[in-house]
Structure 1
Amino acid sequence: MRHESNPQLDATTVPQHPPVIDVNKEPARRKAFTFLRCQKWFISGSEGKQFVTTVAVVSALVCVVLVEGFIFAAAPRGRFVDRFLRGPEPTPQLIAVPTPRPPTVAEKQAGKKKLAGIPTKDSKKTSVSKIEYDWESFVRFAEAIQAVGEHVTRVAVDPTYGPAEQPKYQPIFDASELAVIEEQRVASSAGNGAGGRQTPVRVTAASSNPYASKKPIGSLPPKSSRLQRLRVRIAQTLATYQRRPMNTSHHSPWEIMHGFVGFGIPTKIRVGGPRGELVNAIGWTNSGGRCRGQVMLTLRDGRPHALYGVGLQGHSAQYLAILAQCRVSAKSPLLLGGKNFTVADLIEDEKLNCRSGTELTFALIGLAHYLPTDAVWRSSDGEMWSLERLMEEELRQPIRTAPCGGTHRLFSLAYGCQRRLKATGQLDGVYRRANTYVREYQSLTLRRLQNRDGSFSTEWFKYPDNRDDDIDRKVQTTGHILEWLVASLDQEKLYENRIIAAAEFVATALAREPGRNWKDGPLGHALHSLSIYQERVWGVVLPGNVVAFTGPMKAAATVEVARSDEEIRQATLPNDDKARL
Structure 2
Amino acid sequence: IVFVEGLSFAATPRSGRFLDRLLRSAEVTPQLISVPVPRPATASERRASQQKKRLSVPTEEEKQPVVSADIYSWESFIRFAEGFQDVGEHVIRVAVDPSYIPDDEPKFQPIFDASELAVIEEQRTMASAGSGSPRTQAPIRATSMSSNPYGSKKSIGAMPPKSSRLQRLRMRIAQTLATYQRRPMNTSHHSPWEIMHGFVGFGIPTKIRAGGPRGELVNAIGWMNSGGRCRGQVMLTVRDEKPHALYGVGLQGHSAQYLAILAQCRVSAKSPLLLGGQNFTVADLIDDEKLNCRAGTELTFALIGLAHYLPTDAVWRSSDGEIWSIDRLMREEINQPIRTAPCGGTHRLFSLAYGCQRRLRATGQLDGVYQRANIYVREYQNLTLRRLQNRDGSFSTEWFKYPDNRDDDVDRKVQTTGHVLEWLVASLDQERLYESRIIAAAEFIATALAREPGRNWKDGPLGHALHALSIYQERVWGVVLPGNVVAFTGPMKAAVTEELARSDEEIRQATLPNDDKTRQ
Q: What TM-score does the superposition give when structure 1 sets the normalisation length? A: 0.67
Paired residue secondary structure (1:411): helix
Identical pairs, percent: 78
Cross-structure match for 2:179: 240
Deviation at 1:270, TM superposition (A): 0.5
Counterparts in 2 of 1:65 and 1:461: CA distance versus 1, 3 Å: farther
Aligned partner (choices 290, 300, 312) of residue 251 of structure 2: 312
What amino acid is the match of 2:357? Q
Contact 1:107-1:429 at 8 Å conserved across structures: yes
Cross-structure match for 1:391: 330
Deviation at 1:61, TM superposition (A): 8.1
Deviation at 1:109, TM superposition (A): 1.0
Deviation at 1:397, TM superposition (A): 0.5
Cross-structure match for 1:112: 50
Aligned partner (choices 303, 310, 327) of residue 371 of structure 1: 310
Aligned partner (choices 14, 22, 27) of residue 70 of structure 1: 14
| 4+ residue runs over 4 A deviation | 57-62, 86-89, 114-122, 138-145, 170-174, 210-213
What amino acid is the match of 1:95? I
Counterparts in 2 of 1:364 and 1:233: CA distance versus 1, 3 Å: same
Is 1:265 matched with 2:209?
no
Contact 1:377-1:385 at 8 Å conserved across structures: yes
What amino acid is the match of 1:329? S
Counterparts in 2 of 1:388 and 1:241: CA distance versus 1, 3 Å: same
Counterparts in 2 of 1:260 and 1:171: CA distance versus 1, 3 Å: closer
Counterparts in 2 of 1:225 and 1:117: CA distance versus 1, 3 Å: same
Counterparts in 2 of 1:284 and 1:110: CA distance versus 1, 3 Å: same
Deviation at 1:550, TM superposition (A): 1.4
Cross-structure match for 1:100: 38
Contact 2:91-2:267 at 8 Å conserved across structures: no
Contact 1:92-1:463 at 8 Å conserved across structures: yes
Is 1:295 matched with 2:234?
yes
**1:120-519 maps to which residues of 2 (within 5 A)?**
218-519=157-458
Cross-structure match for 1:549: 489
Q: Deviations over 1:434-490 (max 9, x none)?
A: 110000000000000000000000000000000000000000000000000000000
Contact 2:259-2:285 at 8 Å conserved across structures: yes
Deviation at 1:91, TM superposition (A): 2.8
Counterparts in 2 of 1:59 and 1:455: CA distance versus 1, 3 Å: closer
Paired residue secondary structure (2:391): coil
Counterparts in 2 of 1:121 and 1:267: CA distance versus 1, 3 Å: farther
Cα distance between partner residues in 2 of 1:173 and 1:511: 29
Contact 1:361-1:412 at 8 Å conserved across structures: yes
Structure with higher Rg: it is 1
Paired residue secondary structure (2:402): coil
Paired residue secondary structure (1:473): helix
Counterparts in 2 of 1:469 and 1:211: CA distance versus 1, 3 Å: farther
Q: Deviations over 1:155-214 (max 9, x none)?
A: xxxxxxxxxxxxxxx98999x99xxxxxxxxxxxxxxxxxxxxxxxxxxxxxxxx9887x
Cα distance between partner residues in 2 of 1:404 and 1:513: 23
Deviation at 1:104, TM superposition (A): 1.9
Contact 2:52-2:323 at 8 Å conserved across structures: no
Counterparts in 2 of 1:59 and 1:363: CA distance versus 1, 3 Å: closer
Cα distance between partner residues in 2 of 1:454 and 1:475: 11
Cα distance between partner residues in 1 of 2:166 and 2:356: 29
What amino acid is the match of 1:365? I
What amino acid is the match of 1:492? E
Counterparts in 2 of 1:434 and 1:144: CA distance versus 1, 3 Å: closer
Aligned partner (choices 451, 475, 484) of residue 536 of structure 1: 475
What amino acid is the match of 1:71? S
Cα distance between partner residues in 2 of 1:448 and 1:551: 30
Cα distance between partner residues in 1 of 2:257 and 2:310: 16
Deviation at 1:113, TM superposition (A): 3.2
Paired residue secondary structure (2:298): coil
Deviation at 1:105, TM superposition (A): 2.1
What amino acid is the match of 1:241? Y
Gaps of 5+ in 2: 61-81, 101-150, 494-520
Deviation at 1:112, TM superposition (A): 3.3
Contact 2:96-2:268 at 8 Å conserved across structures: no
Contact 1:217-1:539 at 8 Å conserved across structures: no
Cα distance between partner residues in 1 of 2:202 and 2:296: 33
What amino acid is the match of 2:467? H
Gaps of 5+ in 1: 1-54, 123-134, 146-169, 178-209, 554-581
Paired residue secondary structure (1:305): strand
Counterparts in 2 of 1:334 and 1:59: CA distance versus 1, 3 Å: closer
Number of aligned residue pairs: give it. 419
Paired residue secondary structure (2:197): helix
Q: CA RMSD in A?
A: 3.2
Deviation at 1:62, TM superposition (A): 8.1
Counterparts in 2 of 1:65 and 1:106: CA distance versus 1, 3 Å: farther
Counterparts in 2 of 1:117 and 1:236: CA distance versus 1, 3 Å: same
Deviation at 1:337, TM superposition (A): 1.3
Deviation at 1:83, TM superposition (A): 10
Paired residue secondary structure (2:202): coil
Counterparts in 2 of 1:89 and 1:546: CA distance versus 1, 3 Å: same
What amino acid is the match of 2:415? Q
Cross-structure match for 1:182: none
Counterparts in 2 of 1:240 and 1:217: CA distance versus 1, 3 Å: farther
Contact 2:307-2:358 at 8 Å conserved across structures: yes
